[in-house]
């Protein structure tokens, strides 16, 4: 899931972020100690992994594992609410909220695990969001039950530990499942939601080198290039620079946008920018921009102005570094309605025909859109 559009850059963690981690680390340790003092091993089981990751992030110069701040804060709030609900005679609404938030956190972690597995599996380039969501929910429930099994086992080792009753366990599990379903629905319907951008995507981007995802992405692109252009794959050398003149040329931008519109109107596809027609990795024209971030912003603005903000969720892109030469991989999903390319006061409609993008007009356009709409309606009925 590449809902972010930034190139992966392993930069040192800022001082303010480190300060936040230290504060969260200290309070998390206090929560674990408080739970142990009250004979509740559940808090220790929940906090121990977070304490370990935070300790590595804070004290390792290389920041081996970077856990997004939002993820830590959400887990921290969940732990606070859990402790409060267990201290109170009847946790009531606080207990329910804590369990729901636990389900949310575990499902986000489940999504991270699924995407790590998908990105390291040879031949897997696209994911089915519904299947990903289902697997993430299963991981969430499994992890929650494993935590309670561990707590149950610890109650025999440490006699002072309290055991959770079966009634309370089932009640907590039900609310954890509710939290998991909330995230699953959000993921399927709104994959660009900020909760994923600042948790799942941030984790994968900041830890891509350590997880081996960068190497997998490079191999994946090389495999795509080796297969050559097709109805679902096209190469472009630049975003806006005319290689013959060395000047900025709007025709280059239109060529990129035309391909994206054609993918959206057909069966989706991948555009690799920075690759010549013969498959040579020349690198995108990054020198015409102030930075990679500026290039990403320009590409986003191009899509928004010429195609429309409503279709941005169907498009995601990322710059991958090939030894100083960047290739921008743009992945398009098929849109649910007709997409037009705005060119001044005119609008053009493109579709894929083999390795080319062709324009449809007149009755050809009407017939194609009608047939595609019927096809999409039939598919939705089957689903």
Task: For 266-301, write each residue's pLDDT tens digit.
Answer: 989 999 999 999 999 999 998 999 888 899 899 999
* pTM as predicted: 0.65
Residue 221 in domain: no
Same domain? 117 vs 195: yes
Same domain? 250 vs 157: no
- Residue at token pair 């409503």: 310
Of 23-27, 78-82, 160-164, highest mean pLDDT: 23-27
User: What pLDDT is attached to residue 349?
Assistant: 95
Same domain? 203 vs 236: no
- Asked if 337 and 213 touch (Cβ cutoff 8 Å), the reply is no
The distance from CA 305 to its chain's CA centroid, rounded to whole angstroms, is 24
How do residues 258-270 score in pLDDT, each as one tens digit? 999 999 999 899 9
- Position 383 confidence tier, pLDDT thresholds 50, 70, 90: very low
Residue 347 in domain: yes
Q: Identify the weakest region by mean pLDDT among 31-45, 135-149, 262-276, 366-380.
A: 31-45
User: DSSP per residue over 23-66, as a string?
Assistant: HHHHHHHHHHHHHHHTT-HHHHHHHHHHHHHHHHHHH-TT-SS-
User: DSSP per residue over 142-209, as a string?
Assistant: HHHHHHHHHHHHHHHHSTTSPPPPHHHHHHHHHHHHHHHHHHHHHHHH-TT-HHHIIIIIHHHHHTHH
CA distance 263 to 186: 25
User: In 10 A of CB 322, how many CB atoms?
Assistant: 15
Q: Would you say residue 324 has pLDDT above 70?
A: yes
Same domain? 245 vs 158: no
- CATH number, position 355: 3.30.950.30
Residue 224 in domain: no
Same domain? 245 vs 195: no
* Mean pLDDT in residue range 177-205: 84
Tokens of 363: 């009755």
Residue 6 in domain: no
* Mean pLDDT in residue range 145-156: 77
* 182 vs 202: which has the higher pLDDT: 182
How do residues 99-119 score in pLDDT, each as one tens digit? 898 899 889 989 988 888 876
* Mean pLDDT in residue range 175-184: 93
Could you list the residue range(s) of the whole structural domain that residue 246 is in? 229-382
User: What pLDDT is attached to residue 375?
Assistant: 66
- Position 158 confidence tier, pLDDT thresholds 50, 70, 90: low
Q: Would you say residue 333 has pLDDT above 70?
A: yes
Same domain? 130 vs 245: no
Same domain? 188 vs 110: yes
Total domains in the chain come to: 2
Residue 90 in domain: yes
Tokens of 198: 């600042």
Residue 7 in domain: no
* Mean pLDDT in residue range 309-313: 86
Same domain? 337 vs 378: yes
Pick the last residue of a domain from 210, 243, 267: 210
CA distance 142 to 134: 12
Same domain? 252 vs 202: no
- Asked if 3 and 201 touch (Cβ cutoff 8 Å), the reply is yes
- Position 214 confidence tier, pLDDT thresholds 50, 70, 90: confident
Q: Would you say residue 45 has pLDDT above 80?
A: no
Query: In terms of C-beta density within 10 A (0-12 exposed, 13-18 middle, 19 or more buried), how is residue 375 classed?
Result: exposed
Query: Is the sign of the CA dihedral 85, 91, 95, 97 positive or negative?
Result: negative
User: What pLDDT is attached to residue 123?
Assistant: 47
Same domain? 350 vs 239: yes
Same domain? 303 vs 181: no
Pick the last residue of a domain from 210, 238, 270: 210
Residue 8 in domain: no
- Position 124 confidence tier, pLDDT thresholds 50, 70, 90: very low
Pick the last residue of a domain from 210, 245, 276: 210
- Position 237 confidence tier, pLDDT thresholds 50, 70, 90: very high
Farthest CA pair distance, the chain: 80
User: What pLDDT is attached to residue 232?
Assistant: 93
Average per-residue pLDDT in the chain?
80
Give 297-300 contacts, CB < 8 A, sequence gap 24+.
298/239, 298/240, 299/5, 299/239, 299/328, 299/330, 300/5
Same domain? 162 vs 247: no
Residue 223 in domain: no
User: In 10 A of CB 367, how many CB atoms?
Assistant: 11
Q: Would you say residue 1 has pLDDT above 50?
A: no
User: What pLDDT is attached to residue 8?
Assistant: 37
* Mean pLDDT in residue range 174-189: 92
Q: Identify the weakest region by mean pLDDT among 100-104, 114-118, 234-238, 379-383.
A: 379-383
User: What pLDDT is attached to residue 36?
Assistant: 65
């Amino acid at each position: 899931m590449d809902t972010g559009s930034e190139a992966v850059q392993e930069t040192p963690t800022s001082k303010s972020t480190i300060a936040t981690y230290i504060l969260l680390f200290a309070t998390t340790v206090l929560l674990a100690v408080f739970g142990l003092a009250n004979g509740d091993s559940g808090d220790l089981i929940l906090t121990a992994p977070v304490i370990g990751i935070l300790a590595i992030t804070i004290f390792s110069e290389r920041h081996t594992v970077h856990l997004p701040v939002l993820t830590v804060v959400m887990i921290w709030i969940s732990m606070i609410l859990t402790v409060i609900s267990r201290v109170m005679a009847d946790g009531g609404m606080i207990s329910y909220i804590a369990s729901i938030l636990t389900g949310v956190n575990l499902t986000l972690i489940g999504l991270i695990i699924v995407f790590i597995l998908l990105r390291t599996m040879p031949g897997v380039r696209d994911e089915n969001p519904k299947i990903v969501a289902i697997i993430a929910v299963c991981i969430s429930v499994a992890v929650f039950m494993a935590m309670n099994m561990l707590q149950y086992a610890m109650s025999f080792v440490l006699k002072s530990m309290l055991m959770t009753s079966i009634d309370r366990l089932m009640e907590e599990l039900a609310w954890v499942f509710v939290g998991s379903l909330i995230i699953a629905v959000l993921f399927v319907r709104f994959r660009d939601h900020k909760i994923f951008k600042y948790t799942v995507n941030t984790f994968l981007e900041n830890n891509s080198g350590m997880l081996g995802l960068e190497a997998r992405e490079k191999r994946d692109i090389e495999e795509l290039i080796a297969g050559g252009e097709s109805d679902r794959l096209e190469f472009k050398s630049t975003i806006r620079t005319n290689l013959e003149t060395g000047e900025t040329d709007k025709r280059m931008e239109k060529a990129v946008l035309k391909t994206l519109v054609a993918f959206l109107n057909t069966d989706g596809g991948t555009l690799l920018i920075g690759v010549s027609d013969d498959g040579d990795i020349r690198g995108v024209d990054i020198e015409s921009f102030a930075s990679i971030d500026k290039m990403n912003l320009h590409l986003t603005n191009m899509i928004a102005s010429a195609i429309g903000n409503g279709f941005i969720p169907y498009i995601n892109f990322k710059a991958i570094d090939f030894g100083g030469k960047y290739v921008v991989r743009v992945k398009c999903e098929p849109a649910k309605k007709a997409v037009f390319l705005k060119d001044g006061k005119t609008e053009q409609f493109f579709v894929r025909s083999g390795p080319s993008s062709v324009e449809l007009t007149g009755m050809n356009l009407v017939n194609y859109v009608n047939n595609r709409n019927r096809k999409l309606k039939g598919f939705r009925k089957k689903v």
